[in-house]
A and B are shown apart, each in its own frame.
Chain A
C-alpha cells in the first residue's frame, strides 16, 4: 500500500496546500482539537476527535443566502452565490465521514440545496482510521468500521507510517496528486495495529449497544413512552448536543436589516430551543419534554422512516461528552429499549 513516513507529514500538507486550502484537526490553547486551516507549522492533533464536527465545511453555522435592496418601490434580489474553491479536509474520523452520507440525504435530495451542493462538489474528504477509540465511541452500533473509514480517500497509521487508499474517483485524483511523496510499502505492521484496534472496539463499554428497538416502524410505541418525562427532566434546553452533533441538520432562516439592505441568512437551529419551528400560532412543542423527544425521535425513528431504515446517529459520542447534564442518545436508547 502507498505510505509515507509520519515525520514527512509537513511535506505532505505543504504539497496539498499548494493547490487548495487544507484543513486539519489541530490543538487549541485549551487542549481541545478543532479543524483549522493548515499553514507552515500547524500540527495534526492527536485527539480522537474535534469538539465541533466536520459538518461545518458543508453546512456552516451561519451563511448568507440572498440580499435584497430596496430602491423606491422596487426590490432588487441579489443572488450572492459564488462557486466555492476546491478544498481538502484531512483527518476526518469514520463517524463524521458517515455523517456526510446522512446530510446528503437531506440536502441533496429534491429540492437540492445548492449552497450545500456547491461545497460538497468542491470538498475532498480524506479520512483517518482510529487507533484509540474512547469509551464514548459507539460507531460500530451503526455498522461503521473505524479501522476502514469512508471518505474520498482514507488514511491509516501504524505509528511510523501514514498509509493512503482512494475510495472513489475524487479520492483517486487526490491520491495521484500527492503520490510522488509516497512509496509502496509493506502493511504487516498496519495490520497488527488494525487487529489491535478491532479488539479494543469489542471491549469498549458501549460495544454491545443495540439499535434493534429503533427504526421507522417504531413510532407509536416510542413516541408514547413514559420514559421521556424522566429522561428530559433535567435537560436545560441549551442545544449544545445539537450544535456539536455531526448529523443534526436543522436550520432557521432569518432576515438581517443592515439599514440599507436586507441580508437573508440561515443558521443552525436546535429542536431544544423554545422558538424552534415557531409559527404564527406559536410553538408546536410547548414543553422541554416534547423538544427533547424530538431530537431523539428524529434520529431514531423519523429519519430512518424516510431513509430506508438508516438511523440518524453515527455514534461519535460528542453529545455524551458535551451535554452539561450528561444526558445523551445512549442513555435514551438504553432507557427506551428496556421498556
Chain B
C-alpha cells in the first residue's frame, strides 16, 4: 500500500494538482514516525512512510497548512476523515486548499504494547501472517498482531471514509464496535467506585497537555488554561480538584464535537483512558438527543448547538444522578 500512496503523492505533485504533501516520515526505529510535510518527489522517496505505525492523525495540521498558499495533499485513514469533516464544519480548515486521499486501514500498532510485553532492544518489526517478527539485540521475538494493536483500533467505529477527493483501495463500512462497553461498565459502578476509578486515573496526569494539543477538536487560538488573564491558567495542578477539572472542562468543551478519533489516549504519556470520558458524552448524546456522530457530515446541526422541542429536560441530570 505504501507504494501506491507514494506514487499517488508524486503523481499529484508532478501534475501540479498539489504543492505539498502531508504524511509521515520514518524515524530511527521501525515505530517512531513523525508527521511531516514533503515538497518534492526526492523527499518523498527518501523518507515518506505509511505502515502499521503511522497512526498520527494529520487533520489538525491542516488548520496551519491551509493558512499557507497553495494546495496540500493529505492522506486520511477512515477515522481521520471524521476529524477532517468536523474541522471543515467548524470553519477551521479551508477545504478548498486540501486534496484528500482516503487510505485503507486495518488497525495500527502501539509500540508501547510491544514493549510492555518485555520486548526490548528493538531493531526492526515485520509482519508475518497474523504475527509480528521482531528483531532485537536480545534475539528474535514474536508477538500476535492482535496483542500489539492500539486500543482505539480494537474498538474501531468505521472503516468507511466519510469524505475524500480520491480513494486508494476499497472503501469499508461503518462497523458495530464495542466502544461503549467500558463506558457501560463505568455506569454500572457505584458513584464511589466510579469516583475512585477516575481519581486513580486522573491523579497520574502530569498536565503535559499532549491530549489537548493533539486533539482535533481543541483548536482554540488561546486555550483558557494557557491564558494568564483567565484566572485559571495553570501549568500544574495545584490540587486534586484542579487536576480533575482540567479534564472535565475539556471533555465538556469537546462534547458533541469529539469524533472519538482516539488521539488523546494514544499520546497520553501516563496511559490515562481519556477516550472513556469523551465516549460517555457521545453515549449520552446518542441516548438523550438521538444518534449523532460528529464529523460524519459537514452540514447537520449538532445536538448541543441545536434546539428541538423534543430535547430532554434539564431534570434528566438530577434523575440520573440519584443512586
Contact = CB atoms under 8 A, between A and B. Distances in A.
Contacts of A334: 28
Q: What DSSP secondary structure best describes chain B's contact surface? A: loop
Contacts, number: 127
Contacts of A238: 208-210, 212-214, 267
Contact of A326 (B27, B120, B212, B226): B27
Given A135-B29, A135-B123, A234 B36 contact: yes
A70 to B, nearest CB: 19
B28 A273 contact: no
Nearest to B121: A135
B236 A240 contact: no
B137 interface: yes
B50 interface: no
A303 B316 CA distance: 58
A36 B224 CA distance: 33
A183 B35 CA distance: 54
B48 to A, nearest CB: 14
A206 B28 contact: yes
B37 interface: yes
Interface in A312-328: 320-322, 324-328
Contact of B235 (A234, A270, A320, A328): A270
B269 A244 contact: yes
B61 interface: yes
A256 B237 CA distance: 12
B120 to A, nearest CB: 4
B269 A134 contact: no
B208 A205 contact: no
B29 A234 contact: no
Interface-centre pick from B34, B122, B207, B267 (highest chain A CB count, 10 A) = B34
A134 B121 contact: yes
A211 interface: no
Contacts of A236: 210, 213-214
A73 B115 CA distance: 60
Interface residues of A, number: 55
B235 A252 contact: yes
A42 interface: no
A314 to B, nearest CB: 18
Nearest to A62: B236
A278 B226 CA distance: 12
Interface-centre pick from A31, A325, A330 (highest chain B CB count, 10 A) = A325
B236 A267 contact: yes
Interface string A245-285: 00000001010100000000101111001110010000000
B17 interface: no
26 contacts: A30-B270, A31-B116, A32-B270, A51-B269, A51-B270, A132-B120, A132-B121, A135-B29, A135-B136, A200-B138, A230-B36, A233-B37, A236-B210, A238-B209, A238-B213, A240-B210, A252-B235, A267-B235, A274-B226, A275-B226, A275-B233, A320-B32, A325-B56, A326-B32, A327-B34, A330-B28
Interface of A: 28-32, 34, 46, 48, 51-52, 61-62, 132-136, 200, 203-206, 230, 233-234, 236-240, 243-244, 252, 254, 256, 265, 267-270, 273-275, 278, 320-322, 324-328, 330-331, 334
Interface of B: 27-29, 31-37, 56, 61, 111-112, 115-116, 118, 120-123, 136-138, 200, 204, 206-210, 212-214, 222, 226, 228, 233-238, 266-267, 269-271
